[in-house]
Each structure stands twice: as C-alpha cells, then as structure tokens.
Amino acid sequence: MKFTLNEIAELLDGELEGNGQEEIFSISKIEEAKKGSISFLANPKYESYLYTTEATAVIVGKDFRPQRKYNSSLLRVADPYSGFTSLLEEYQKILLIGKSGIEQPSYIGEGCKIGENIYRGAFSYIGQNVRIGNNTKIYPQTFIGDNTNIGDNCIIYAGVKIYAGTQVGNNCIIHSGAVIGSDGFGFAPQSDGSYKTIPQLGNVIIEDNVSIGANTTIDCATLDNTIIRKGAKLDNLIQVAHNAEIGENTVIAAQAGISGSSKVGKNCVIAGQVGIVGHLQIADRTTIAAQSGISKSIDKKGTFKMGSPGFEMKDYMKSYAVFRNLPELWERVRQLEEKILNLPAK
C-alpha cells in the first residue's frame, strides 16, 4: 500500500489538515502507529493517544476539536469509523490484486461461463454449468457444485463448500470452512420409531454485499429457497436452517442458530448464542441479546429482547433485579413464617 494523503482524502471525501504529499504505507491502531501509517479516532476514550501517536495522519470527525498539541495531520470525515473501514476495504483489494490466473491442479466442468480477471486456486473444483462473474477470487480447495451462479467481485476463501444450485450475488465474501446448501434437518418419524429422510430439493440464494463467516452453515430449502438478503453479515459458526430468511442489513454474531422456516427482518442485531425456534417472524430492527432464546414471533419493530425465553429488555431487567435476590428474599419469607407461627393464639 502506498498513497498520498491527498489521494486518501479524495477517496474518503474528507478535509485534510496537513501536507497532502506525505505518503502512507500502512494502517495502524492509534496507540501503536508509526511514521508512514494512518490511524483513526472514533471513540473519545482514545483521544489521549492523538497527542502522543507517531502516525503521519489520523482520521477524525468533522466536528472534532483537539484539546492539546498534536503532531499528526488530521483527515476530517463525516464518520471516522466508517471512513477507516472504507480505507481498510481498499487496502484489502490491494492485497488481493496479486491473486489472478489459474493454479494447478484444479478442475472445471463443461458448460461453465467464467468472467474476466478470475483467480482459481490449486485443488479448487468447479462443477458443470457454473457461472462466475468478473474479478472473483476462488481460493484453494474450494468446491463449487453444478449449476451454481457466483457474481462479480466475490471472495471465496479456502475450503468453502458450495452445493449445487446455489446463487451468490455480487461483492460477497464467504470465509473458510463455510458450507452453503447442505441438507436441512428434515426427517419424518415412522411407525416403528425410525426416521425417514425428507429429500431437500430447494437451494440457497445469497444476495449482494453479504459476508458469511468461517464454519457457518446455511442449509438448502426443502422446497423453494433459503435466502440471505443483501447486506446481511453473518459471523463464524452460525447455523441457518432450511427455508429460513435473513433480512437486509441484519447482523448475526457467532454460535447463533436460526431454525427452519423462520424469517428475520431487516436491520436486526442478533447477538452470540441466540436460538430462534422454527416458523417464527422476527420484525425489522429487532435486537436480541446474547444467549437469548426466542420461542414466539416478534411483531413490533424495534423490539429489544433478552433472556430465555426472551422477553422485553425492561421487563427482563426488572425481573432480574428480583430473582438475583431470591435467596435473601426466601430467607426473609421463612423468618416471617416462623414469626407468624409463633404468634400467641387469640
């Protein structure tokens, strides 16, 4: 990476205070930055580092007012965290530019349509009638099944398994070990106590700008589609079951499980180890706290659920204030009962 501050300011649509010809070679945390690096200040807790950092430049908010002398150039943007994220994205693209061409051994089936500037790593397998867009990177030991479509500018990291018929949009990232399109958990109980497998004949649709974490599994639908809507971000080790739907710009943290046929709305935040029962509807802008269990649909937009089973956060906090003191309350009740029993009879 090598940019001038003027180039970075143009990229981020920012206002530069400093020498625009200075060159930036790396991106660093503000407390560890050295000359030639750029950092950012979004959290006021880290402001003290601005006055001691060796960074050549620091990205700050347009309304930031320093309280002491500093040595770095300032790049003022509307949102320093978002601006820094955009810079990291550009840096990642630079790191990936060197990956191009076809490494051997690798396999590609008949009837495939492959875009321009593709990278296919060694030991990757691409089945028949697969379509892959421009600028997509497919890392080693990736499996892509027959009749799969993958859009432009995608990154499929090493060891990803994408089953036949999966549809992946543009600008998607799928991290190592993810499995897309495996069978849903469908078994029909039989009269003798055994279970018969229900064929899973649907597929998975992943829309544009989706990120899927390492070792996450998304099951294909029994019929129709399992859908991850555009802009959704899934962490590592998440299970999305058959026929589920994850709404636009929803984020889900690690070890959460979305059961079959549940529909999660737009702009939801689902924390780690959350469990959602099957066939539920989760309203837009719902937030669910870590380790909560959701057993009923959430109809009101903007709800915050906590606990297992999950209920309104304010009610949960009130209840928690009580049940955390249950041992003491029980002892007081026991003492009162003894006093009542020892009252003299009238």
Q: Answer whether residue 346 shows pLDDT above 70.
A: no
pTM over 0.85: no
Active-site entry in 175, 242, 263, 266: 242
Residue with tokens 């090493």: 158
pLDDT at 97: 59
pLDDT at 1: 66
Taking only the tens place, the pLDDT of each residue in 23-55 is 999 999 999 999 999 999 999 999 999 999 999
DSSP string covering 77-94, please?
Answer: ES-HHHHHHHHHHHHHHH
| Residue 149, token pair as written in the block | 């479509």
Task: Verify whether residue 279 is a known catalytic residue.
Answer: no
- How would you class 20 by CB atoms within 10 Å of its CB: exposed for 0-12, middle for 13-18, buried for 19 or more? middle
Phi/psi at 29 (5° precision): -70, 145
pLDDT at 345: 74
Give me the residues paired with residue 202 across strands: none
Whether residue 53 contacts residue 35, with contact meaning beta carbons closer than 8 Å, is answered with: no
pLDDT at 173: 96
| Range 292-329 burial, b when 16+ CB lie within 10 A, else e | bbbeeebeeeebebbbeebbebeebeeeeeeeeeeeee
Taking only the tens place, the pLDDT of each residue in 106-161 is 999 999 999 999 999 999 999 999 999 999 999 999 999 999 999 999 999 999 99
pLDDT at 98: 62
pLDDT at 319: 83
Whether residue 172 contacts residue 160, with contact meaning beta carbons closer than 8 Å, is answered with: no
Q: Answer whether residue 341 shows pLDDT above 90.
A: no
Q: Answer whether residue 327 shows pLDDT above 90.
A: no
pLDDT at 106: 96
pLDDT at 170: 98
pLDDT interval class at 318 (50, 70, 90): confident
| Residue 114, token pair as written in the block | 């492959």
Q: Answer whether residue 105 shows pLDDT above 90.
A: yes
Whether residue 153 contacts residue 135, with contact meaning beta carbons closer than 8 Å, is answered with: yes
Length of the chain in residues, anyone?
A: 346
CA–CA distance, 235 with 211 (Å, rounded to integer): 8
pLDDT at 91: 81
- Give the CATH architecture of domain 3-97: 3-Layer(aba) Sandwich (3.40)
pLDDT at 317: 85
| Residue 151, token pair as written in the block | 């859009």
CATH of domain 102-316: 2.160.10.10
Q: Is the pLDDT higher at 97 or at 261?
A: 261
Taking only the tens place, the pLDDT of each residue in 263-317 is 999 999 999 999 999 999 999 999 999 999 999 999 999 999 998 888 788 888 8
The CA dihedral of 125, 126, 128, 132, to the nearest 10 degrees, is 180
Taking only the tens place, the pLDDT of each residue in 43-100 is 999 999 999 999 999 999 999 999 999 999 999 999 999 999 999 888 877 766 567 8
Average pLDDT over residues 236-265: 98
User: Where does the chain hold its CATH 3.40.1390.10 domain(s)?
Assistant: 3-97
Residue with tokens 């943007």: 77
CA–CA distance, 317 with 334 (Å, rounded to integer): 26
CA–CA distance, 50 with 64 (Å, rounded to integer): 12
pLDDT at 96: 64
Phi/psi at 241 (5° precision): -85, 175
pLDDT at 59: 97
User: Where does the chain hold its CATH 2.160.10.10 domain(s)?
Assistant: 102-316
For 306, the 3-state DSSP assignment is: strand
Taking only the tens place, the pLDDT of each residue in 265-276 is 999 999 999 999
Average pLDDT over residues 9-31: 94
